[in-house]
Amino acid sequence: MSPTRRDLIKFGLLTSAAVAVPLGRGYASLAEWFLEHPVDSPPIPSFALPLRILPVLQPTSSTATTDFYDITQKVAPVQILPGFPPTTTWTYNGLVPGPTIRQQQGRDVRVRHYNTLSVPVSTHLHGGDVPATSDGHPLDLIQPGGWKEYFYPGLHPAASLWYHDHAIHDTGRNVYMGLAANYLISSAAEQALPLPKGKFDIVLAIQDKF
């Protein structure tokens, strides 16, 4: 999803115009100026697609206490807009959004991430209560060709979380390119509630891809 020449020209013109706006105009920030001067995007025909059920990642192995997962971060073509060529994306296991991981409270999870991309990455479990060594902070990078195993203890209460790239200076770009997925934690207390279950418990992810 590299920017087109047209996008770069528009951004350059807008940036120049924004810098030229006198402070006396009362704009609190460049963001406010951009909101009042929106950029028209190329028209996209209206379309409707069947609801895509995001796949759940299966453990590569399990013990009495722990589930183990493998994820490869790689380039893959993904069909986002019908009638248009596939979009080149950065993915978890070739999927955008990536595969959902389901953790049961009381069971530990270990996820090994392999980086086959050309850029450093760092995987962060957003909202997770995890050890510092598995936080995926911006400087804890997996270099191209490398790998890292993240440990997520089974002490977390039921929650709907997500995991995503957190590489320093490049988080926004990497997530926009596709490095984001859902992470669901269940507990006995949650499962006892009269909530949708099984095929009726559907994960929805809303992302801006235009």
Q: Count Cβ atoms within 10 A of the Cβ of residue 174 and give its class: 0-12 exposed, 13-18 middle, 19 or more buried.
A: buried
Taking the whole predicted model, whether its pTM rises above 0.85 is answered as no
Per-residue model confidence as pLDDT tens digits over 50-99: 888 889 999 999 999 999 999 999 999 998 888 889 999 999 999 999 99
pLDDT for 22 beyond 60: no
Q: What is the distance between the alpha carbons of residues 165 and 79, in angstroms, rounded to a whole number?
A: 21
95: nearest Cα among 113, 120, 77: 77
pLDDT at 10: 46
Q: Report DSSP letters for 1-41, one per residue.
A: -PPPHHHHHHHHHHHHHHHHS-GGG--S-HHHHHHHSPPPP
Task: Find tokens 């950065």 and name the residue.
Answer: 90
pLDDT for 128 beyond 80: yes
CATH architecture of the domain covering 61-192: Sandwich (2.60)
Q: What is the distance between the alpha carbons of residues 196 and 190, in angstroms, rounded to a whole number?
A: 11
pLDDT for 190 beyond 50: yes
User: What residue spans define the domains of the chain?
Assistant: 5-36, 61-192
